[in-house]
Chains A and B, each alone.
Chain A
Amino acid sequence: MKLFTNLPGNLRVLFGALRFLVVCFALFWFLNLTFNSWIEQRFMDEPQLIVAVGAVSWGVVPDAIKLQSDSAKPGAIRLNNLCGSLQMNLLSKDTAMVSALRWTMYPSMVVSITFAWLLFTSLRSVCANVERGEVFDEKNLRLVRGIGLILIVYSLSSAAVGLWAHHVMGGYLTQHVVLTGLAVPGGTGGLQFIEPSGPFLFPGFGGLITGCLVLMLSEAFRQGLQLKAENDLTV
């Protein structure tokens, strides 16, 4: 397959493109949050910048919403809770909401953009080195170790950001938001913030395990570097 003829070169181009997309994404949001917001607030009566905040769920009073099946007995299938995605207006005049929204969105965006850029830059550099024939050398060893550490730190950071977002947005929803039109336990409250939305690359334990695997790979690189050093200038 032509794809595998020059795999390092093709991957270098791919990671370069992904890095460029991360920069475009960051630029898009920077412009959206600055100029677009300024234009909306200056020229529009009701400025709007609707953003996806994350997923919410709420418990359902038993039998408030019934599920019927033509094959199972009544009561065999029950709806426990409902989930949905939450959207908010970032340019709302409600300062409490906007503050909660900013404290939820901005940390996750900064973490995602920073680590994505670092990761794709490192991957691109590794592919460029391998394409030049420089596989087992100090530069590549440092890059591969760096990639492993980036993945581990990113996964821990995104978990921390998720907890923080859960605390901030969950607090706002609990204090200021009521749900109407649906029978939920505990009256009209009970809206829970599950997780923030965002371009998380490797959410959860995936990033942690992948990072550990990459660190193990860097150990293989280190031993390869030792073997290469022994074999250099051996005729």
Chain B
Amino acid sequence: MPIRLNLDQVMADRGISLTELADRVGITLANLSILKTNKAKAVRFSTLEALCRELKCQPGELLEFVKEK
């Protein structure tokens, strides 16, 4: 998938665990894990908004476009 979510890097920078972030954002640990491992096909704006709010970042810091070779 060309769109990547750099969630693990931002989480490490902020020093927040997966469980804590899942609680704060309001999604299940399983779904957050799907996001972190880039297995998700789509992200809702509401989820992106919650992630940016809790991680105190911009969407551009989380999302990255990687050209497929």
Contact = CB atoms under 8 A, between A and B. Distances in A.
Interface of A: 230, 232-235
A230 B35 CA distance: 16
Task: Identify the interface centre among A230, A234, A235: most chain B CB within 10 Å of its CB.
Answer: A235
Contacts of B31: 235
Contact of B43 (A230, A232, A235): A235
Main secondary structure of the interface of A (DSSP, over half): loop
Chain B interface residue bracket vs A: 10 to 19
Contacts of A235: 27, 31-32, 34-35, 40, 42-44, 47
Interface string B29-64: 001101100011111100100000000000000000
Nearest to A234: B42
14 contacts: A230-B42, A233-B39, A233-B40, A233-B41, A234-B40, A234-B43, A234-B44, A235-B27, A235-B34, A235-B35, A235-B40, A235-B42, A235-B43, A235-B47
A234 B27 CA distance: 12
B24 to A, nearest CB: 15
A235 B28 CA distance: 9
